Amino acid sequence: MMRTQVGIIGAGPAGLMLSHLLALEGISSVVLEAHTRDYVEQRIRAGLMEHFSVELLRQCGVGARMDREGLVHHGIVLRFGGRSHRIPVTDLTGKSMMIYGQHEVVKDLIAARLAAGGQILFEAEAVGIDELHGERPRIRFRQDGREQQIECDIIAGCDGFHGICRPALPLGALTVYDKIYPFGWLGILADVAPSNDELVYANHERGYALLTMRSPSVSRLYLQCAPDEDADAWTDEAIWAELRTRLADDSGFVLQSGPIRQKGVTAMRSYVVEPLRHGRLFLLGDAAHIVPPTGAKGMNLAFADVVVLSRALIDWYRKRNGDGLDSYSATALRRVWKAERFSWWLTSLMHRFEHATPFERRMQAAELDYVTSSRAAMTTLAENYAGLPLG
Ligand SMILES: Cc1cc2nc3c(=O)[nH]c(=O)nc-3n(C[C@H](O)[C@H](O)[C@H](O)COP(=O)(O)OP(=O)(O)OC[C@H]3O[C@@H](n4cnc5c(N)ncnc54)[C@H](O)[C@@H]3O)c2cc1C
């Protein structure tokens, strides 16, 4: 049986960052990851980092490549009724954001852990967790066809939405809050320079569209679609034509097209479980909560959970003070719910709801007008977009 202080399930942003922050304080961990290193390093997902996440990467010594290759952003554009309205986030909040792909963050964290002699076991799938109420909880995992076990003090469930930790808990241990939206996003990754320096969020009568990017030569674009849309039913030409229609404005904006490297459909969901602790198991990131990607909060929330839990663990190991562990769930959830609210609100503001009444459509139009004409409303948007403080 292997032994470590903190057994971490999942080598996504949450698991890797937790392992890194604990190692900096001399706390040992083993990270189990079901997939290969190559798979997790190539998985294209989030791309927008809040001010807090950028600072976190810098402070813990893994921000150098981000600072060289990332794109600093100071605002976003809301486009509706054919007109563009810029929200100057930095002017309103003093904070900026960074475009830097989640897979790049994952690469940087894996490199840092391995260089420091950290243990990440790839192709090691956790299959069960035991003794959560004892002092020596255990993770059972399968690697190379063999079942093995790790004994630890604490288990960190960083295994994403489809992991095993949350479902392993007894019925009734968690309260689930769930909302499924009646649409999805058809997303593409294209080898073409972004057609705008900042993100463009478009509310169009045919549905929402988003222009974002991953680098100076790679664009990421999304179209609101049916939740069960077949991505393969869309030709590349049809995708570009639809994007062009929805992203058009009266200033002569031109959308540049290029080869589509990847396309897929993402379902839209808001989901939270409470509490985030069960005995010696702690849930972090997507294992505990999901937001629709409109607010670009998922990876940032995962990092916020990690910071709260790592501080609690440091206190527990250093001072034998368990207060932080006891309050982890309540502390993390305060930020989670505010990010859930913002993501739900921005989703409601920007999408076309097929069954909305004429009155509801007028309300959405009035809110768009308000949010782009009132400094107070713009500041509220900007403050949430750049990221709220921890706690
Ligand atoms: C299309 C899209 C766009 C997004 N855009 C943004 C954005 O702009 N900004 C933002 O902040 N967020 C965004 N997100 C959300 C963001 O990607 C997630 O919130 C983030 O990945 C959460 O990190 P995590 O570490 O909690 O979980 P994950 O990244 O899901 O990592 C969990 C890991 O656990 C592993 N695992 C699962 N089960 C097991 C098991 N049994 N044993 C071992 N390992 C296991 C998985 O293989 C995975 O590597 C986006 C998501 C999508 C899908």
Pocket lining: 300 vs ligand 1, CB cutoff 6 Å? yes
- Rounded to an integer, the average pLDDT of 7-31 is 98
44 — pLDDT class (breaks 50, 70, 90)? confident
Residue 30 has pLDDT above 90, yes or no: yes
Mean pLDDT, range 9-21, rounded to an integer: 98
Question: 32 CB less than 6 Å from ligand 1?
Answer: yes
What pLDDT does 390 receive? 81
Cα distance between residue 307 and residue 310, in whole Å: 5
pLDDT of 57 > 70? The answer is yes
Beta strands in 138-259 (DSSP E): 138-143, 146-151, 154-157, 175-190, 200-203, 209-215, 218-225
The yes-or-no verdict on residue 210 having pLDDT over 70 is yes
pLDDT digits 0-9 by tens, 142-188: 999 999 999 999 999 999 999 999 999 999 999 999 999 999 999 99
How many angstroms separate the CA atoms of 137 and 134, rounded?
A: 6
> pLDDT at position 389, please?
87
Concerning whether 297 is annotated as a catalytic residue, the answer is: yes
User: Ligand 1 in contact with 159 (CB < 6 A)?
Assistant: yes
Position 116 confidence tier, pLDDT thresholds 50, 70, 90: very high
Q: What pLDDT, on the 0 to 100 scale, is given for residue 139?
A: 98
How confident is the model over 180-208, as a mean pLDDT?
97
Note the pLDDT of residue 72: 97
The token duo for 308 is: 């709260």
Q: Does 39 participate in catalysis according to the annotation?
A: no
Q: How confident is the model at residue 203 (pLDDT cuts 50, 70, 90)?
A: very high
159 CA distance to ligand 1 centroid (A)?
A: 8
Catalytic residue among 292, 293, 317, 328: 293
Give the pLDDT confidence score for residue 1 in this predicted structure: 87
Mind listing the pLDDT tens digit for each residue in 257-315? 999 999 999 999 999 999 999 999 999 999 999 999 999 999 999 999 999 999 999 99
Residues 54, 105: Cα–Cα separation, whole Å:
10
Q: Cβ(48) to ligand 1 under 6 A?
A: yes
Atom of ligand 1 nearest to the CA of 298: 19
pLDDT at 391 over 80: no
Q: Above 80 in pLDDT, residue 38? A: yes
Q: Is the CB of 8 inside a 6 Å radius of any atom of ligand 1?
A: no
To the query of whether residue 216 is one of the catalytic residues in this protein, the response is no
Q: What is the pLDDT of residue 343?
A: 98
137 is catalytic: no
> Taking 90 as the threshold, does the pLDDT of residue 8 lie above it?
yes
List, in sequence order, the alpha helices (H) in the chain: 13-24, 37-42, 51-59, 64-69, 89-93, 102-115, 165-168, 236-247, 298-319, 323-350, 358-371, 375-386
Name the pLDDT band for 50 (thresholds 50, 70, 90). very high
